[in-house]
A = this chain, B = another copy of it.
Amino acid sequence: MSAVQESPVATQQRLKGVFSPVLTPFNADYSPDPDRFAKHCRWLVDQDVGLAVFGTNSEANSLGVAEKRRLLESLLKAGLPAARMMPGTGTCAISETIELTRAAVQAGCGGVLMLPPFYYKGVSDEGLYRAFASVIDAVADSRLRIYLYHIPPVSQVGITRGLVARLLKAYPGTIAGMKDSSGDWSNTSAMLSEFAAQGFDVFCGSESFLLATMRGGGAGCITATGNVNPAAIVNLYKTWKQDGAEDRQKGLDATRGVFAKFNMIAAMKSAIAWKSGREEWKTVRPPLVELNAEQRSALQAALDDVGFEMPNAGKLA
């Protein structure tokens, strides 16, 4: 059953499938490298992975607004498809969220992934409603499709079902769905059962829940390890109704489990440095720290144990 086909707001351009919060490559001086960024995006798109650039695993909040705008422009210049992009545009300040969201819409991005303002803790749903509403009203563009970004383990400010219901009622054509990175299946399941029938596209925030999300009527997943294990994740997305899906899910879980033993961002960047031969890939911006030599050896050994491969990783160098 596809809930979306019944929705008044669904269009053929709706974003579906596997997305990756694209890792942002830095030079040794912490400046972003637009060339490797475009190469990585191309490698992902070629494997049918959509581009959730500027997500948590992109170190997006470690980038300034001007840096994000320049990086987005560099991807467009490199010919990457805006329709397959869901850039993160949510910041602490509605003024900057408006600026980034407007830029994404004007670039033709298929959607935006929007964090709530996350500096103040314990804020009310009324305050969060006003934040999202202010952005939507200011951008004032019917092309805008917002995916609400629920990641309380990091942002500490979550998006409740009450808030989703109120936003969907007020902005039915604009509130397009959610990325649920709570890590709590009961929350994802509740979002699916309450809102999927209204055309609200739920993406799980980790491929660990991909099979369950698809069975529950979801739209796909937006997952960190899409950066390094894209083919296998896309394969499960495309074959979730076929025999052996549970085994394919277990395979994904094994690979993810290796990365999850470390800081995921630093571990994925180390893996790309290893497989591509381009050492700068290991660089993360402070306050994150790259894997040390011992951690890196342990990561590589554990990845070898699960048969991890990155075909064509040389293209990322």
Contacts and interface: CB of A to CB of B under 8 A. Distances in A.
Interface of A: 30, 56, 61-67, 91-96, 99, 116-121, 123-124, 126-128, 130-131, 134, 153-157, 285-289
Q: Considering residues A95, A131, A287, A288, which has the most beta carbons from chain B within 10 angstroms of its beta carbon?
A: A287
Contact of A287 (B64, B95, B128, B287): B128
User: What's the number of copies of this chain in the assembled complex?
Assistant: 2
Nearest to A289: B127
B117 A287 contact: yes
A65 B62 contact: no
Given A121-B153, A127-B289, 20 more contacts: A30-B134, A61-B92, A61-B119, A61-B120, A62-B94, A64-B95, A64-B99, A65-B65, A65-B96, A66-B95, A94-B285, A94-B286, A117-B287, A119-B154, A120-B154, A121-B154, A121-B156, A123-B287, A128-B287, A134-B286
22 contacts: A61-B93, A61-B117, A62-B92, A63-B95, A64-B91, A64-B95, A64-B96, A67-B93, A117-B286, A119-B155, A120-B287, A120-B288, A121-B153, A121-B154, A123-B288, A123-B289, A124-B289, A127-B287, A127-B289, A128-B286, A128-B287, A134-B286
Contacts of A91: 64
Contacts of A30: 94, 134
Nearest to A92: B61
A64 to B, nearest CB: 4
Top 10 A-B residue pairs of the complex, sorted by shortest distance between their CB atoms: A127-B287, A131-B286, A61-B119, A130-B286, A123-B287, A61-B92, A64-B96, A64-B95, A64-B93, A127-B289
Q: Considering residues A93, A116, A288, which has the most beta carbons from chain B within 10 angstroms of its beta carbon?
A: A93
A170 to B, nearest CB: 14
B126 A289 contact: yes
A301 to B, nearest CB: 23
Contacts of A157: 287
A124 B92 CA distance: 23
Contacts of A118: 119
B289 A62 contact: no
B93 A63 contact: yes
B65 A286 contact: no
A119 B116 CA distance: 12
A157 B63 CA distance: 18
Nearest to A118: B119
Q: Considering residues A30, A56, A157, which has the most beta carbons from chain B within 10 angstroms of its beta carbon?
A: A30
